[in-house]
Amino acid sequence: MKPVLTCRDIKVDFDGFYALKGVNLNVFHEEVRFLIGPNGAGKTTLLDVICGKTRATNGQVIFEGSGQIDKMQEHKIASAGIARKFQAPSIFPKLTVFENLELSVKQKKSVWALLTAKLNSEVKAKIDYILEKINLQNERNREAGELAHGQKQWLEIGMQLIQEPNLLLLDEPIAGMSGVEREKTGYLIHDIAKECSVLVVEHDMDFVRNFSKQVTVMHEGAVLCEGSMAEVQENEQVVEVYLGRGKKVC
Amino acid sequence: MKNISRSSYALLFIFLLCAPLFLHDFRVALLAKFLCFAILAVGICLIWGYTGILSLGHGVFFGLGAYCVAMYLKLEASPTGIPDFMGWSGIVELPGLWKPFANPYFAISAAVIVPVLLALVLGYFTFKNRIRGVYFSLISQALVVVFVTLFIGKQEITGGTNGLTNFSTAFGISLTNRGVQQVLYFITVGFLLLTVAFALWLTKSRAGKLLMAIREGENRVRFLGYNPTSFKVFVYCVSAALAGVAGGLFVLQVGMISPEMMGIIPSIEMVLWVAVGGRYSIFGAVIGAILTNSAKSFFSESYPDFWLFFLGGLFILVVLVMPNGLVGLGKSVGEKITSRIKKKEKEDVQHEAGPYVS
Say whether residue B138 is in contact with chain A using an 8 A CB cutoff. Answer: no
**DSSP codes joined into one string, A160-192:** HHTT--SEEEEESTTTT--HHHHHHHHHHHHHH
Say whether residue B225 is in contact with chain A using an 8 A CB cutoff. Answer: yes
Residue B120 counted as domain residue: yes
pLDDT above 70 as % of chain B? 96
Report whether A45 contacts A169 (CB < 8 A): no
Report whether B269 contacts B88 (CB < 8 A): no
Nearest-CA distance from B191 to chain A in Å?
21
**Pick among B206, B218, B281, B324 to test the A interface (most A CBs inside 10 A):** B206
The pLDDT of residue B46 is above 70: yes
The pLDDT of residue B192 is above 70: yes
Beta-carbon separation of A111 and B224 below 8 A: no
The pLDDT of residue B357 is above 50: no
pLDDT score recorded for residue A245 = 53
What is the arithmetic mean of pLDDT over B19-37?
Answer: 93
Residue B49 counted as domain residue: yes
Residue B302 counted as domain residue: no
Say whether residue A141 is in contact with chain B using an 8 A CB cutoff. Answer: no
The minimal CB distance from A114 to the residues B210, B219, B228 is found for: B210
How many interface pairs between A and B have CB atoms less than 8 angstroms apart? 76
Domains of chain A, start order? 3-243 (3.40.50.300)
Q: List the single range of B36-45, B170-179, B220-229, B249-258 with lowest mean pLDDT.
A: B170-179
Interface of A with B in 191-250 (CB under 8 A): none
CA atoms within 13 A on the CB side of B78: 20
The pLDDT of residue B238 is above 90: yes
Domain count, chain B: 1
Give the Cα-Cα-Cα angle B187, B191, B196 (nearest 5 degrees). Answer: 150
Residue B125 counted as domain residue: yes
Residue B353 counted as domain residue: no
Residue B341 counted as domain residue: no
pLDDT score recorded for residue A250 = 35
Residue B244 counted as domain residue: yes
Residue B328 counted as domain residue: no
> pLDDT (tens digit, 9 = 90+) per residue, A164-199?
999 999 999 888 888 888 998 999 998 888 889 999
The pLDDT of residue B353 is above 80: no
Confidence band (pLDDT; 50, 70, 90) for B89?
Answer: confident
Say whether residue A78 is in contact with chain B using an 8 A CB cutoff. Answer: yes
Q: Which residue has the higher pLDDT, B51 or B343?
A: B51
Express the helix, strand and coil content of chain A in percent, nearest 5 each.
40, 25, 35
Beta-carbon separation of A78 and B223 below 8 A: yes
What CA–CA distance (Å, rounded) separates B168 from B175?
Answer: 6
Q: List the single range of A83-87, B2-6, B35-39 with lowest mean pLDDT.
A: B2-6
State the complex-level ipTM.
Answer: 0.90
Range of the domain at B118: 27-262
